[in-house]
Amino acid sequence: MVDTNSNRNIVFLGTSLPRECGIATFTQDLLDEFTQIKGFDKPRIIAVNNNESYSYKEQVMMQIDQHELSDYNEAVDHLNLTDVDLLVIQHEFGIYGGESGEYLIPFVERLRIPYMVIFHTVLTKPTTKQRLIMNRLAELSVKVVTMAQSTVRDLITIYDIDADKIAFIHHGVPDVETESRSKLKEQYGFADRKIISTFGFLSPGKGIEYGIEAMRGVVTQHPDSLYIIWGKTHPVVKQEKGEAYRQKLMDLVKKLELTYNVLFVDKLLTQEEVIQSLVMSDVYMTPYLGKDQAVSGTLAYGVGYGRVIVSTPYRYAEEMLAEGRGLLADFRDSSSLEACILKLLGDPALVKEMEAHTLALGRTMIWGEIAKSYAAIIQESIAAPDLFKRSVI
């Protein structure tokens, strides 16, 4: 019989702060909420490193060098000797070693404690290797979590994952109190301006150039409008190509004579600054280029704070902006983005209506609520040992 009165001991596997990585932030936010949920000891992390070393907090119990297979073996052997009740694997192909992160497979095959896996990426056209990796991870797990309803069927039909193992839980959003939109605009020096914004790591796939080009038409009707691009260049992009993309965007701004209407904030934002950037925005924009993007943490934040959103129709945006929660523009089409922005800036009543629709969903995505969903699944998984059967060869 399971002792339901004893606290559960869970560990997260993935990247960890201060590494600059969206999954590291996701893990920290979820871990922080678990410290406030009854029935759990303070969770710990096994941190996966790339080519850098980091000054981790005491919550990191072990480290794995992404490219060292022996580190995975050492970590799993240690886990098997601990009192850990369940491991939570944050899965993204690029953060684990081997082809498409295949080093994770012998790790889970050797693991003797139950684990659940959170899939941060679900490709509609995976390589054979990618499909096999996700299938195997799911096969040996007690639960699979996806953050978009649209990907549930893909996990079943493309990756051949048992439907009973799959759970849909929204991407979490931090609950941060801020001043009002008008007060934040005054605080940042943007009073009386219409703010369009984008935040997150800068990389070519974000399509920011189309957002900038859209502003050329927007300013003809709203000369005081301002497009703020918050965030530093993605660490991997900067390592491989420096600031070439940012410079290309800045050159475009000068060419289009938009220096008064486009602002770059080149820094890693604090959580409070991220939320402030959203709250002060009249329009939040994600002009991304990839159709298959199943989840976007930045878009989730925009929804979480009830912003009116203009986006290209990647999969996650189509799902999240349904039922009047935003406007969809065509891919790689600045004129389409411009038309959406102008429609919103010219119709305050429509904006107010959309914000109400978006906020209604957004309030269900606050981390405190999302963590409760994870806690329930974890407790259920630990209490049902028959879900975790494997040979011990």
In the chain, the amino acid numbered 194 is K
% of the chain residues with pLDDT over 70? 96
Give the pLDDT band of residue 51 (cuts 50, 70, 90).
Answer: confident
How much is the pLDDT for 353? 96
Token pair in block for residue 84: 């850990």
Kindly tell me if the per-residue pLDDT of 106 is higher than 80.
yes
Kindly tell me if the per-residue pLDDT of 200 is higher than 90.
yes
Q: In this structure, are residues 191 and 288 in contact, taking their beta carbons and an 8 Å threshold?
A: no
10-172+367-387 is classed CATH 3.90.740.10: no
pLDDT tens figures, 162-186: 999 999 999 999 999 999 999 999 9
Element (H, E) at 225: none
Token pair in block for residue 134: 């996700």
Kindly tell me if the per-residue pLDDT of 198 is higher than 90.
yes
How much is the pLDDT for 389? 45
Residue 248 makes CB contacts below 8 A (sequence gap 6+) with 209
Q: In this structure, are residues 277 and 264 in contact, taking their beta carbons and an 8 Å threshold?
A: no
**Model pTM above 0.95:** no
pLDDT tens figures, 291-328: 988 899 999 999 999 999 999 999 999 999 999 999 99
Helix then strand then coil, in percent of the chain rounded to 5, is 45, 15, 40
Count of other CB atoms within 10 angstroms of residue 385: 11
Residue ranges of domains in the chain: 10-172+367-387, 181-364
CATH architecture for segment(s) 181-364: 3-Layer(aba) Sandwich (3.40)
Per-residue pLDDT, averaged over 253-279, amounts to 96
How much is the pLDDT for 386? 53
For 50-77, the DSSP string reads -SS-----TTEEEEEETT-HHHHHHHHH
Domain 10-172+367-387 matches domain 181-364 at the CATH topology level: yes
How much is the pLDDT for 384? 72
The maximal CA–CA distance of the chain, rounded, in angstroms, is: 71
**Burial label, 79 (beta-carbon count in 10 A; 0-12, 13-18, 19+):** buried
Question: CA geometry: angle at 192 spanning 189 and 196, to 5°?
Answer: 80
